Amino acid sequence: MADVTTAQDVVTYRESVAEGIAREMRRDPSVVCLGEDIGAAGGVFKTTVGLFEEFGPERVWDTPISEQAIVGAAMGAAMTGMRPVAEIMFSDFLACCWDYLANEIPKVRYMTGGQVTVPLVIRTANGGGLGFGAQHSQSVENWALTVPGLKIAAPSTPADVVGLMASAIRSDDPVVFFEHKGLFASKGRPAPDGHVVPFGEAAVLRQGADVTLVALASTVPLALTAADRLAAEGIEAEVLDLRCLIPLDVTAVLRSVERTSRLVVVEENPYQGGWGGTVVSVVADEGFELLDAPVKRVAGANVPLPFADALEDQVIPTVDKVVDAVRSLATY
């Protein structure tokens, strides 16, 4: 991961998760948390530290290992006046309650003709790079993308964690909130009071005229580091942090490609069925005339994730792979 820490970077991404939740719990008594080991233990990633102490057992609930019951109960509570924030410890475990994410939560409003709303947040630790192996390392934001009716956020900085968490918890729509495991220890500026990052607005983190790099969560620092290296070679990359997959800020992508005529999508999920395919589709359709070169996707390899660090590096995006992809376009 890129280390771009400065003096103002005093809070971690990890702390910002708890901070973001706490701010909303203070504002709104209908916000309640549930999940495995999130209470006194503060969560296995320490992303809920302090919540149990501040808000007590009626607002921070430890659950059995019952992912279906966790998100199912969150759904029922959301339909009846609460704003639950459910933790699914590792995003891989979303598979254990996938019916709720795929068939129940995103559909109930539509299929009842708008009779109910489901204002809930499902938070989960996503992504690899830590050597947790095939069942604890996946980037599964693409799973969520297959399902119309879910909003999807995936912050890359501590301040965005807080700002997007505010939007997520205040949203009357269901949100899947991907916290990246590889970013938990990273630091950044603290979010100002009342910080809210609206959904569906990509951030242009770096300007550049030669190529657009579209990134999300863990791939944002990768893209930024790659951009620095490329700058040294005289290639100026524009770096966009999508921040959300739904709503998807394709306008920002198209505007950037208008300037750069080149697009590289950097995504951690596998190439097959990865979210970059949706971004590329829109650009290959609506932005076809803007393009001067093939569109590239630096994505996870189409293999399960191996345990050994060196093997994992072979199959997830790295700075080198981003740099290589951009170089191949620059000479185009």
Partner 1 sequence: MTETTATDLLALHETMTLIRRTEKAAHDLFLSGLVKGTTHLAAGHEAVAVGTRSALQDGDYAFATYRGHHHAIAWGATPEECLAEFMQRSTGLNKAKGGSMHLTKAEAGMLGSYAIVGAHLPIAVGAAWSARLRKTDQVSVAFFGDGATNIGAFHEALNLASVWKLPVLFVCENNFYMEYTPIASVTGVGNPAADRAPSYGIPAEVIDGNDVVAVRDAVARAAGRARAGDGPTVLEAQTYRHYGHSRTDPAKYRPDGELERWLERDPLTVSAGRLREAGTSDDDIKAAEDRAAAVVDQAVAGAKAAPQADLSEAFTDVWADGGAAWRT
Ligand X SMILES: Cc1ncc(C[n+]2csc(CCOP(=O)(O)OP(=O)(O)O)c2C)c(N)n1
Burial, 17: exposed, middle or buried (Cβ in 10 Å; 0-12, 13-18, 19+)? buried
Cα separation, 104 vs 66, in Å, equals 17
Does 156 interact with its own copies (rule: CB under 8 A)?
no
Residue (69 or 315) nearer to ligand X, CB: 69
* Contact positions with partner 1 (CB under 8 A) in 100-129: 100, 103-104, 108-117, 119
Does 96 interact with partner 1 (rule: CB under 8 A)?
yes
Q: Taking a C-beta distance cutoff of 8 angstroms, is the pair 60, 52 a contact?
A: yes
Q: Taking a C-beta distance cutoff of 8 angstroms, is the pair 212, 240 a contact?
A: yes
Among 4, 65, 111, 209, binds ligand X (CB under 6 A): 65
Cα separation, 87 vs 48, in Å, equals 10
Among 61, 204, 206, 330, binds partner 1 (CB under 8 A): 61
Among 10, 185, 284, 308, binds partner 1 (CB under 8 A): 308
Question: Distances in Å between the alpha carbon of 172 and those of 102, 159, 181, 245, 276?
Answer: 18, 22, 27, 17, 27
Q: Taking a C-beta distance cutoff of 8 angstroms, is the pair 173, 269 a contact?
A: no
Q: Is 180 a catalytic residue?
A: no
Number of residues that bind ligand X (CB under 6 A): 6
- Where do the DSSP E strands lie in 103-193? 121-126, 151-153, 175-180, 187-188
Does 52 interact with ligand X (rule: CB under 6 A)?
no
Among 79, 176, 216, 263, binds partner 1 (CB under 8 A): 79
Does 89 interact with ligand X (rule: CB under 6 A)?
yes
Tracing tokens 């820490």 back to the chain, one arrives at: 5
Partner from its own copies, ligand X, partner 1, none binding residue 64, C-beta < 5-8 Å depending on class: partner 1
* Contact positions with its own copies (CB under 8 A) in 236-275: 246, 248, 269-275
Spatial neighbors of 73 by CB under 8 A, at least 6 apart, are: 34, 84, 86
Does 284 interact with its own copies (rule: CB under 8 A)?
yes
Element (H, E) at 144: helix 141-145
* Contact positions with partner 1 (CB under 8 A) in 245-274: 246-252, 272
Q: In what order do the strands lie in the sheet with 151-153?
A: 60-62, 31-35, 83-90, 121-126, 175-180, 151-153, 244-246
Contacts with ligand X, 126-165, as mask; x by CB under 6 A: ----------------------------------------
Applying CB under 8 A, which residues contact its own copies? Answer: 92-93, 95-96, 98-99, 101-103, 106-107, 110-111, 133-135, 140, 142-143, 145-149, 246, 248, 269-278, 280-281, 283-286, 288-289, 291, 293-297, 301-304, 306-307
Residues with active-site annotation: 136
